[in-house]
Amino acid sequence: MHLWLFGYGSLIWRPDIEYVDRRPARVQGWARRFWQGSHDHRGVPEAPGRVVTLIREAGSSCDGMAYLVDRDAVEETFTRLDHREKNGYERHSVNLTFLADARREQGVVYIAPVDNFAYLGEAPLADMADQIYRSVGPSGTNVDYLLELASALRALDAEDEHVFQLENAVRELSR
Ligand code: SIN
């Protein structure tokens, strides 16, 4: 079977997988939040960065990019992404709605659940911005992750107050 993979964080702007099609898509009942710790990409174990996960929230939705992976590439794609998302993320099945035509598909998404070892949870906006401003890891600065995400969301015309407020706060710190 082919696979629709939904990306809502770095998978939007740096999928780094083989795909045959991609479409902007939405998941209902989930909110994107910078509540997951990053020990391996945008921070280090002693000073984790903050990256996004999805939190169940009735009435919310999250826009991102859905990638169609050919059946022959599914296994390799999971091997690659299971490694990339190993810091607390798990695969979940999710209902996707394509933004262009409202078509629905079943997809797979990587979510870091609230009980994972690297979960940080909610914090005041200023504290989250400060942590992002200071953090850096093997994949680069945490600020770059946030700014890349904000710019990818603007390119999708996606609303996300949480991400855009953090972006503003971090830009203020960078002045
Ligand atoms: C995703 O992009 O879908 C998962 C979170 C991340 O890797 O930033």
Overall average pLDDT of the 99-113 stretch: 98
Range 3-173 classified under CATH 3.40.50.720: no
Q: How many CB atoms lie within 10 A of CB 2?
A: 13
* pLDDT number for residue 151: 98
* pLDDT number for residue 47: 97
- Give residue for tokens 């992976």: 69
Nearest-angstrom CA–CA distance, 8 and 78: 16
Looking at per-residue pLDDT, the higher value among 1 and 109 belongs to 109
Instruction: Decide if pLDDT at 145 tops 90.
Output: yes
Could you give phi then psi for residue 37, rounded to 5 degrees?
-80, 145
Q: Where are the domains of the chain?
A: 3-173
For ligand 1, atom 3, the nearest C-alpha belongs to: 7
Question: Please, what sign has the CA dihedral across residues 113, 46, 123, 64?
Answer: negative
* pLDDT number for residue 122: 97
Nearest-angstrom CA–CA distance, 97 and 27: 7
Mean pLDDT of all residues belonging to the chain? 97
Overall average pLDDT of the 21-39 stretch: 98
Ligand 1 environment, Cβ below 6 A: 7-11, 51-52, 85, 110
Overall average pLDDT of the 2-12 stretch: 97
CB 30 within 8 A of CB 122: no
Angle, CA of 79, 37 and 65, to the nearest 5°: 55
Instruction: Decide if pLDDT at 1 tops 90.
Output: no
Nearest-angstrom CA–CA distance, 49 and 44: 7
Can you name the residues that pair with 93 across neighbouring β-strands?
108
Residues forming the active site: 85
Overall average pLDDT of the 6-33 stretch: 98
Closest ligand 1 atom to the C-alpha of 109? Answer: 3
Overall average pLDDT of the 146-150 stretch: 98
Q: Is 80 exposed, middle or buried (0-12, 13-18, 19+ CB in 10 A)?
A: middle
Which of the four pLDDT bands, split at 50, 70 and 90, describes residue 128? Answer: very high
Overall average pLDDT of the 71-97 stretch: 97
CB 48 within 8 A of CB 39: yes
Closest ligand 1 atom to the C-alpha of 8? Answer: 3
Could you give phi then psi for residue 132, rounded to 5 degrees?
-65, -40
Say whether pTM exceeds 0.85.
yes
* pLDDT number for residue 96: 98
**Choice from 6, 10, 27, 54 to test ligand 1 binding pocket (greatest atom count within 8 A of CB):** 10
Overall average pLDDT of the 134-162 stretch: 97
Instruction: Decide if pLDDT at 156 tops 90.
Output: yes
Overall average pLDDT of the 84-97 stretch: 97
